[in-house]
Amino acid sequence: MWGNILFQGFISFEDVAMDFTWEEWQDLEDAQKILYKDVMLETYSNLMFLGQSIAKPAVIFKLEQGEDPWTLEELPSLSLPGEKPYECEQCNKMFSRKSQLTVHSRTHTGEKPYECEQCRKMFSYKSQLTVHSRTHTGEKPFECERCGKTFSSKGYLTVHKITHTGEKPYECEQCRKMFSRKSDLTKHWRTHTGEKPYECEQCRKVFSHKSDLTKHWRTHTGEKPYECAQCNKMFSQKSYLTEHQKTHTGVKAYECEHCRKMFTGKSTLTKHQRTHTGEKPYECECCRKMFAWKSALTVHQRTQHRRETI
């Protein structure tokens, strides 16, 4: 489709590029800015790949250098609102181009037209799929000049660079803790308010962070997206994979304070410590009997209560 449109001469970089006024840019969270930069760079790259002959726009030069789309000298002209004839029917937000409205509408519809060929996971934006595909290939093309650490997307590299500068411009009004990203401050704020805006559709359990809901959801779907490259065992969380990989290396970094026994993973140590503390966090809903391990509860339910129902 792109090739046909380009051939007919109906599209240019300006037609598909997304733009914001300076005021709108300031309202975006860091994650949204990172997504914007990735989308813009990929859009320009696609046009070049399809044979579109255009001079490199100034905004692309800036994004490639890790800068914001505008300089201070450009603020007066960019702060003026431009013509925005396209309106979102759901939230009434206005856009200057139809392509911007199309992309924005996915925030309401949840449409995910881009599918990963390897794991069938769906994405709203092609740039998200591009970054995700690197979790399968292991490709990390963006390198930090300071420490040599590599990343799968330029956005992740940009966020990482803050760890070198130590810059933390966002302050919690309640405890004065400082954060390098606005999104981190937002998540932290929920520790004070107790807000849990993310609800599981299946069991109605609520969570403070979307990432926690994503991990929890896998307990219902059984999805295990993290694979051990050595033995091909699958895991629902990256932390589980990290701990598992230590079984191959033989590294035992976690020590029990009671008996000095060493363990490869923190979760394994936590389970072991219950033999000393007597803690039993797993309760049977039928008879209220308590168990130290989830596996013991599962066996109990299968052997004891299944017989009662027969």
What contacts 91, CB < 8 A, 6 or more positions away? 108
CA-to-CA distance for 187 and 183, rounded, in angstroms? 6
148: left (phi over 0), alpha (psi -120 to 50) or beta: left
CA-to-CA distance for 103 and 97, rounded, in angstroms? 10
pTM (predicted TM-score): 0.39
Which residues make beta-bridge pairs with 122?
115
Residue 260: CA count within 13 A, CB half-sphere: 0
Q: How many CB atoms lie within 10 A of CB 148?
A: 7
For residues 257 and 266, is the Cβ–Cβ distance under 8 A?
no
What contacts 252, CB < 8 A, 6 or more positions away? 246, 262, 263, 264
CA-to-CA distance for 253 and 264, rounded, in angstroms? 6
SS3 labels along the chain: CHHHHHHHCCCCHHHHCCCCCHHHHHHCCHHHHHHHHHHHHHHHHHHHHCCCCCCCCHHHHHHHCCCCCCCHHHHHHHCCCCCCCEECCCCCCEECCHHHHHHHHHHHHCCCCEECCCCCCEECCHHHHHHHHHHHHCCCCEECCCCCCEECCHHHHHHHHHHHHCCCCEECCCCCCEECCHHHHHHHHHHHHCCCCEECCCCCCEECCHHHHHHHHHHHHCCCCEECCCCCCEECCHHHHHHHHHHHHCCCCEECCCCCCEECCHHHHHHHHHHHHCCCCEECCCCCCEECCHHHHHHHHHHHHHHHHC
Amino acid present at 212: D
* Cα separation values, 301 from 80, 274, 279, Å: 66, 21, 19
Amino acid present at 74: E
Q: What is the pLDDT of residue 261?
A: 87
Say whether domain 84-139 belongs to CATH 3.90.230.10: no
Q: What is the pLDDT of residue 31?
A: 67
Q: What is the pLDDT of residue 49?
A: 60
Q: What is the pLDDT of residue 167?
A: 78
Domain spans in the chain, listed from the N-terminal domain onward: 84-139
Point out the residues of the chain with pLDDT beneath 70. 1-31, 46-55, 64-66, 70-82, 306-310
Q: What is the pLDDT of residue 39?
A: 75
Q: What is the pLDDT of residue 7?
A: 38
